Amino acid sequence: MAVTDPAPVALPAPHDGAARDEASADDSAEHEGILRRQSARESAARTYARSLPIVPVRARGLTIEGADGRRYLDCLSGAGTLALGHNHPVVLEAIRKVLDSGAPLHVLDLATPVKDAFTTELFRTLPPGLADRARIQFCGPAGTDAVEAALKLVRTATGRSGLLAFTGAYHGMTAGALAASGGAQDVRVTRLPYPQDYRCPFGIGGARGAELAARWTESLLDDTKSGVPLPAGMILEPVQGEGGVIPAPDAWLRRMRTITENRSIPLIADEVQTGVGRTGAFWAVDHSGVVPDVMVLSKAVGGSLPLAVVVYHEDLDVWSPGAHAGTFRGNQLAMAAGAATLAYVRENRLDRRAAELGARIIGQLEQATKEFACVGDVRGRGLMIGVELVDPSAAATAPATADDPLLEASSAGPLPAAPALAAAVRDACLDRGLIVELGGRHSSVVRLLPPLTLTDEQAAAVVDRLTDALAAVARVADRL
């Protein structure tokens, strides 16, 4: 998530077709009053509310209606939680069924028909090789709780304490999860290079850059003087989301699996945001065929309600009774909504739909923005898409590589990130009725996380509004 915002870039007023709908005086007053009271009462830690000054009152599918009467296309989707969009009929029906049945809503970790149905559906979707020998741990309600449980699990199972994590990672905001994330200040985790093309840590990108990242990892583990003892586990995201929408190369991910397997290091795949069809496969590790030892799941797995679980190989199941618990690990409504969502995505092959539609959107954005000097890169996988904004005025100072024998001649070097331009694009999108958010190292990547139920017509509208916003910002950037 974007925690802080840079100074804004002045933009021209949006064109008439994107102007705000007129709202009644009463609606406007209610809207402004709620926002004022939120600002006065809520913590300074609030995030999305700062950059998205809207008051949602109704929502369905891709669309949110605000208290001021305006309608928005929501490509934030609860940070990827809403796989089926807002208030999907199958989710609402699943929730109503539990409510109408008189079933208990809070049961700690007792067995219930609702939990049994959820677990059965979840195991049906797991990667082959894990489902048949898996155990599930229900955690507290957030993804960061599941990350904490996973880290605690591998430390208990291996008797080791160290962890391997990656630059750019985001695993949550609790202490252990934050320590394994890229923004950690008190470093107790060994940090490894995460491969990427546009900002490759080795300056070359592509398969060669990924190979060097893998070799670095292997060398670090095998060098007896590296200062890194055999760790309890390695945790990674198959696509870094908050890190800037960076998909891991499949070959590199398979290499990480081989490296960890050969050294008896449990591999933890954080699929909190990438899971349930988001990247064009049901689980993002499915693209590479990798079977991790541990999978951390939340967001969409609860069908829009709070739910987090850890699924892991039975050999790691060394918990003693009560070794890990949580008061709200038996959320029956979330399990019902989650089972309905999992089944709907699986039965309707929405993962394949996400792959096809995502590739089309990325292609359209690449084509539409290639003349914009402030767009450095368009990337993503499935319906997890990012557009990185850069400073075009820094072109003259971009690193020259022709005289550097260590770099490939084709490597021109990325331009500096432009968080102010990215914030301007986000604001321009909101003016045009499109909700997006920012990610990346400097909050310079505009992110799209639309629901998997996105139609072709809606996708075209999203691309049009985002492209129009980018064009408006590019015109301003060209004049600076």
Residues 122-155: pLDDT tens digits? 999 999 899 999 999 999 888 889 999 999 999 9
**Band of residue 398 on the pLDDT scale cut at 50, 70, 90:** very low
- CB 338, CB 88: distance < 8 Å: no
- What's the pLDDT tens digit per position in 36-90? 888 889 898 888 888 899 999 999 999 999 999 999 999 999 999 999 999 999 9
Q: Please check whether residue 264 is in contact with residue 315, taking contact to mean a CB–CB distance below 8 angstroms.
A: no
Record the pTM: 0.91
User: What would the pLDDT profile of 150-170 be if each residue is shown by its tens digit?
Assistant: 999 999 999 999 999 998 888
Give the distance, in angstroms, between the CA of residue 21 and the centroid of all CA atoms in the same chain.
31
**Distance from C-alpha of 260 to C-alpha of 292, rounded to nearest angstrom:** 10
Read off the tokens for 359: 């590739």
- Give the side-chain half-sphere CA count within 13 A for 41: 6
pLDDT at 31: 83
Dist. CA 475–CA 480, nearest whole Å: 9
Instruction: In whole angstroms, give the CA distance from residue 113 to residue 452.
Output: 28
The 3-state secondary structure of 86-121 reads: ECCHHHHHHHHHHHHHCCCCCCCCCCCHHHHHHHHH
Question: In the structure, what pLDDT confidence band is assigned to residue 323 with cuts at 50, 70 and 90?
Answer: confident
Task: Please check whether residue 115 is in contact with residue 335, taking contact to mean a CB–CB distance below 8 angstroms.
Answer: yes
Residue 399 is classified by DSSP as P
The band of 215, judged by pLDDT with boundaries at 50, 70 and 90, is very high
Residue 404 has a pLDDT of 53
Which pLDDT score is estimated for 47?
87
Using 50, 70 and 90 to split pLDDT, how confident is the model at 399? very low
- Reported as a pLDDT band with limits 50, 70 and 90, residue 277 is very high
Report the b/e string of 170-204 with b at 16+ CB within 10 A: bbbbeebbbbbbbebeeeebbbbbbbbbbbbbbbb
- pLDDT of 409 > 70? The answer is no
Output the pLDDT for position 397: 41
Given a cut of 70, whether residue 260 has pLDDT beyond it is: yes
pLDDT of residue 396: 39
pLDDT tens-place string over residues 366-378: 999 999 999 999 9
Q: What is the mean predicted confidence (pLDDT) over 431-449? A: 96
What's the N-to-C CA distance of the chain in angstroms?
Answer: 28
User: Which position has the higher pLDDT, 284 or 12?
Assistant: 284
Q: Which range has the worst mean pLDDT, 45-54, 86-95, 385-394? A: 45-54
